Amino acid sequence: MLTKIELLNHTFKSPILVASGTFGYGDEVAGLIDVNQLGGIITKSVTLEPREGNAPPRIAETSAGMLNSIGLANLGVEKYCHTKLPQLNKLETKVIINIAGFGIDDYVKTLQILENHDGNHAGYEINISCPNVKSGGMQFGVDAVMTESLTSEMRKHTNKLLILKLSPNVTKIEDIAMAAEAGGADMISAINTVVGMGINIHNRKPVLNTVFGGLSGPAIKPIALANVHKIYKAVSVPIIGIGGISTAEDVIEFIMAGADLVQVGTSNFKDPSIGLKITKGLEPLCKTLEVTNIHDLKGTLEYY
Ligand SMILES: Cc1cc2nc3c(=O)[nH]c(=O)nc-3n(C[C@H](O)[C@H](O)[C@H](O)COP(=O)(O)O)c2cc1C
């Protein structure tokens, strides 16, 4: 298989995973597509306590993507374990549980509760990059010392994959990536959304209730690519590239920039089968690029 990826003792059917918050728990689209053909599913961020998230409007379209300020709405980890985990356990693709929190204790307790339930999931993606909550998450994502402390604390509680999800809303993302690696992260995923806003000129109000939100979709692909490449130059752990991916060519760009795997996010809202369509498109591209496995393209970017 040209697109099968062997990484850290895990086999991913393809390098295409679906991004947190853009694919539910795989259940909403189960009747529409065969989610098991995907490389993996990252579930919506779960927190220790249930959260309603921010008041509407919390989603708005822009000319090149979307703005959201969902604010980590989710059912809380206890309910997650009882209602979502059993369904996720039945999937035959890699499941990665995304965790968000507001302090080290919070993240660790959520992780421990998940570890105490029977889960077939391959690992955890730790969201330290949500721009849509007043405190928490992002405090870690912008601070290398806090990132390392959080990562090493979480490392003590799981042998499953530990993936730190980084924010582009920082001066030097590579410093945060190195801190996550030093703390024991198995992989880095990047990027979360880019802070943005929009204005409705007729009512003179911001398009989002929270004024600022996170921009995602095609508009952020060049930003994501640059961040992935900076991370690639700074760390040796595998990288999951995220941001504006909607075609097989986009995936190849991320892999050439240094990614091992990718996640498709906002494009799922347009077409929930986009991940599978992109996967199909990768095989002929690999042949054109004359590689026997897509992973051979990792970091093959050549400078002028
Ligand atoms: C509506 C929406 C909800 C999201 N919720 C989460 C979330 O709960 N946790 C998280 O880590 N990222 C969340 N994200 C960020 C995505 O996982 C992804 O990092 C980002 O959208 C960039 O990828 P894209 O341009 O392909 O969408 C969300 C994005 C969107 C658009």
Question: Is 286 one of the catalytic residues?
Answer: no
pLDDT digits (tens, 9 = 90+) for 233-248: 999 999 999 999 999 9
Report whether pLDDT(136) > 60.
Answer: no
Q: At what angle do helices 104-115 and 144-155 cross, to 10 degrees?
A: 30
Per-residue confidence (pLDDT) for residue 183, from 0 to 100: 98
Per-residue confidence (pLDDT) for residue 163, from 0 to 100: 98
Per-residue confidence (pLDDT) for residue 129, from 0 to 100: 83
Give the pLDDT band of residue 106 (cuts 50, 70, 90). very high
| CA atoms 269, 271, 272, 278: torsion sign | negative
pLDDT digits (tens, 9 = 90+) for 22-57: 998 988 887 889 999 999 999 999 999 999 999 999
Comparing 107-116, 137-146, 185-194, 215-224, which segment has the lowest mean pLDDT?
137-146
Query: Read out DSSP for 210-247?
Result: TS-EEEESGGGHHHHHHHHHHHHHH--S-EEEESS--S
Longest dimension (CA), the chain: 56
The neighbour count for residue 267, using CB atoms within 10 Å, is 24
For the chain, the distance separating the N- and C-terminal CA atoms, rounded to the nearest angstrom, is: 32
The neighbour count for residue 120, using CB atoms within 10 Å, is 12
Does any ligand 1 atom lie closer than 6 A to the CB of residue 127?
A: yes
Does any ligand 1 atom lie closer than 6 A to the CB of residue 44?
A: yes
Tell me the C-alpha to C-alpha distance, in Å, between residue 246 and each of 65, 155, 264, 279: 11, 33, 7, 11
Does any ligand 1 atom lie closer than 6 A to the CB of residue 43?
A: no
Tell me the C-alpha to C-alpha distance, in Å, between residue 45 and each of 36, 71, 79, 136, 260: 21, 10, 13, 13, 22
Nearest residue (by CA) to ligand 1, atom 10, is 20
Q: Which domains does the chain show, CATH number per domain?
A: 5-297 (3.20.20.70)
Rounded to 5°, the CA angle 164-120-27 comes to 85
To 10 degrees, the CA torsion angle through 169, 303, 164, 275? Answer: 100
Nearest residue (by CA) to ligand 1, atom 18, is 192
283: tokens are: 């095989």
